[in-house]
């Protein structure tokens, strides 16, 4: 077993942030800080001296902004990049652009606060760096999608009797690489697609901007979930950052509950929390989809969905940025179907129709 550490370069114009990130990441025995830089020009010199496995990068910096530097990195020598951003909604759109340009993860800069916050920041940052180190970095990876689908045009291949007393619900979980994978999936869906509830590991504020971006691109409606939002056909609800989202049911109506609480599987929101609630309240009326991401969040929850009668799908290794979460689900026999990303939309409609 290899004991080689993940070599990290920290790029941020704040000396305090560089020091804090160094302390937080160095606390993990699997991570080694090989250098820091106050701007992209110094960072380029550090990279020439020693190639890092992962770069943590700020967006707002002097002399050259982080987005421009990221584009140069991805064009010249792709290296996994984790965007380390301030918790500010106004900067969320720029940060989301970084994901389009090839960054693999967004994390919030650690700040002074309660012991719990600092401990959670350590878990989140170290997990993000490990996920980035495992990522397949492809310059502007392009996934072709099938033509726009209509629910009526897709026949269910389900065998045996199925009691369908309510609308079908689709529960989706994703992490590293999931922002672009979700875009590909949701853009392929028709306006009458089944209602969806989605957990994408992402910090607070950024989920709202992410939902707005998807809403502008997709035929379905996409919004950041709020307490008591109804799950409707033609709409996707994305769990707000830093909060768990649960599916609930009242009569024939499905809705979501937004909760605080501890990290589950090192995350908040957690895919396991969503999937377990879907197993309990939707059962065979649900379709579960686990997509690209580091770790095992969602694997046990997907198994619970399968055992409750739901159809379960995992993204295949070839189209994943990180084949962690789907791999864990497959190992636990939680996924009935293993599919490439461009095929998942059609499969959802086939099983939900």
Active site residues: 175, 201, 297
Q: Residue 307 CB: number of other CB atoms within 10 A?
A: 12
Distance in angstroms (rounded) separating the CA atoms of residues 30 and 3: 8
**Burial 207-238, CB ≥16 within 10 A → b, else e:** bbbbbbbbbeebebebebbeeebebbebbbbb
| DSSP H or E stretch at residue 325 | helix 325-331
* Strand segments (E) across 31-130: 31-37, 54-57, 81-85, 105-108
Find out whether 303 and 278 touch, Cβ atoms under 8 Å.
no
Q: What is the CA radius of gyration of the chain?
A: 20
- Order of strands, edge to edge, in the sheet holding 221-224? 221-224, 235-238, 195-200, 169-174, 286-290, 311-315, 337-339
CB-based contacts of 324, cutoff 8 Å, min separation 6: 131, 134, 175, 176, 293, 294, 295, 296
Tell whether omega for the bond before 269 is within 30 degrees of 0, i.e. cis: yes
Helix axes 178-187, 92-100, angle to 10 degrees: 80
Q: Residue 281 is inside which H or E element, if any?
A: helix 271-281
């Amino acid at each position: 077993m290899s004991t080689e550490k993940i070599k990290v370069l920290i790029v941020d114009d704040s000396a305090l942030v560089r020091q804090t990130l160094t302390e937080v990441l160095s606390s993990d025995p699997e991570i080694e800080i090989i250098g820091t830089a106050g701007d992209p020009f110094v960072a380029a010199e550090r990279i020439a001296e020693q190639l890092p496995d992962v770069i943590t990068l700020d967006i707002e910096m002097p002399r050259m902004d982080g987005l421009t530097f990221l584009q140069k990195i991805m064009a010249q020598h792709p290296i996994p990049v984790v965007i380390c951003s301030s918790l500010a909604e106004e900067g969320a759109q720029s940060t989301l652009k970084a994901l389009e340009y090839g960054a693999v993860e967004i994390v919030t800069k650690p700040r002074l606060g309660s012991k719990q916050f600092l401990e959670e920041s350590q878990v989140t940052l170290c997990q993000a760096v490990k996920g980035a180190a495992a990522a397949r970095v492809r310059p502007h990876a392009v996934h072709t999608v099938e033509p726009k689908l209509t629910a009526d045009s897709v026949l269910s291949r389900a065998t045996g009797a199925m009691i369908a007393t309510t609308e079908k619900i689709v529960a989706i979980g994703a992490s590293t690489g999931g922002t672009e994978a979700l875009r590909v999936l949701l853009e392929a869906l028709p306006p009458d697609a089944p209602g969806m509830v989605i957990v994408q590991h992402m910090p607070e504020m950024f989920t709202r901007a992410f939902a707005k971006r998807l809403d502008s691109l997709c035929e379905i409606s996409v919004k950041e979930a709020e307490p008591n939002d109804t799950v409707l056909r033609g709409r996707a609800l994305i769990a707000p950052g830093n909060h768990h989202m649960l599916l609930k049911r009242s009569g024939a109506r499905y809705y979501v509950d937004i909760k605080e609480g501890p990290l589950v599987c090192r995350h908040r929101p957690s895919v396991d929390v969503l999937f377990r609630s879907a197993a309990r309240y939707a059962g065979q009326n649900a379709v579960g989809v686990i997509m690209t991401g580091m770790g095992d969040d969602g694997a046990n929850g997907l198994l619970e969905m399968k055992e409750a009668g739901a159809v379960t799908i995992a993204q295949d290794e070839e189209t994943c940025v990180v084949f962690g979460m789907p791999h864990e689900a497959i190992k636990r026999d939680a996924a009935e179907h293993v599919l490439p990303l461009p095929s998942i939309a059609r499969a959802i409609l086939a099983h939900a129709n």
